[in-house]
Amino acid sequence: MNKTTFRIATRVTAALFLAAILAPVFITAQEAQAPPPGGKNPPAKMQPCEALGLSPEQEKALATFRKARMDENRAFRDEMQKLRGEMRKLAKDPKAGEAKIDGLIDKTAQLRAERAKTAFRNRAEVEKIFTPEQLEKMIGFRGPGLGRFMGPGFGMRRMGRFGAFPHRPFPGRRS
């Protein structure tokens, strides 16, 4: 057997070996992802919207609210993408004036600030859709300590490189 034939035979054998080893893994992974029989979630695993018992009017108002927010988010993303593209062009251009770059930075900061203000106002607006009992149930879904302003930066420590691991100092800090 010459060298080329031996290499081809070795590669084919290795590929068949890997296929034989990995095939059961892929088959069991696909079986595990199959939906449970019956098609519906059991009552113990109801989704939060189902458990709240929303009226048809509330569901319609919530759908309208969500669609409006999605449209706002899409417009915000499109505008930010346009500004980032302009910023990249100016960063590559050695003749670009510092005033133009500063103006784009100010415009992106203003856009983000307006988005944050709008998001804050939208929280109060969406709460008007629900009854006080439904709001209490929603707080129960979140769990204790998961209020409106919780998360990294709001009193909770995040897990990760610079979060809850004191033996890993911040970059630039000497331990």
Q: Each residue of 10-46: pLDDT tens digit?
A: 999 988 888 888 888 777 776 655 555 555 554 444 5
Residue 173 lies in a domain: no
CATH of the domain at 69: 1.20.120
pLDDT at 82: 94
Tens-digit pLDDT profile for residues 46-86:
566 677 788 888 889 889 999 999 999 999 999 999 999 99
pLDDT at 151: 47
Residue 41 lies in a domain: no
Side-chain half-sphere of 164: how many Cα atoms within 13 Å?
A: 6
Paired with 156 in beta bridges are 152
Tens-digit pLDDT profile for residues 98-144:
888 889 999 999 999 999 999 988 888 888 888 888 888 877 776 55
Q: How many distinct structural domains can be found in the chain?
A: 1
Residues 6+ apart with CB under 8 A from 121: none
Residue 19 lies in a domain: no
pLDDT at 27: 79
Report the alpha-carbon distance of residue 168 to residue 160 in Å, rounded.
10
Residue 17 lies in a domain: no
Short-list 52, 50, 43, 49, CA closest to 136: 52
Residue 135 lies in a domain: yes
Structural domain of 69: 48-139
Residue 70 lies in a domain: yes
Residue 144 lies in a domain: no
- Start-end of H helices in the chain: 3-32, 48-52, 56-92, 98-127, 132-142
Residue 78 lies in a domain: yes
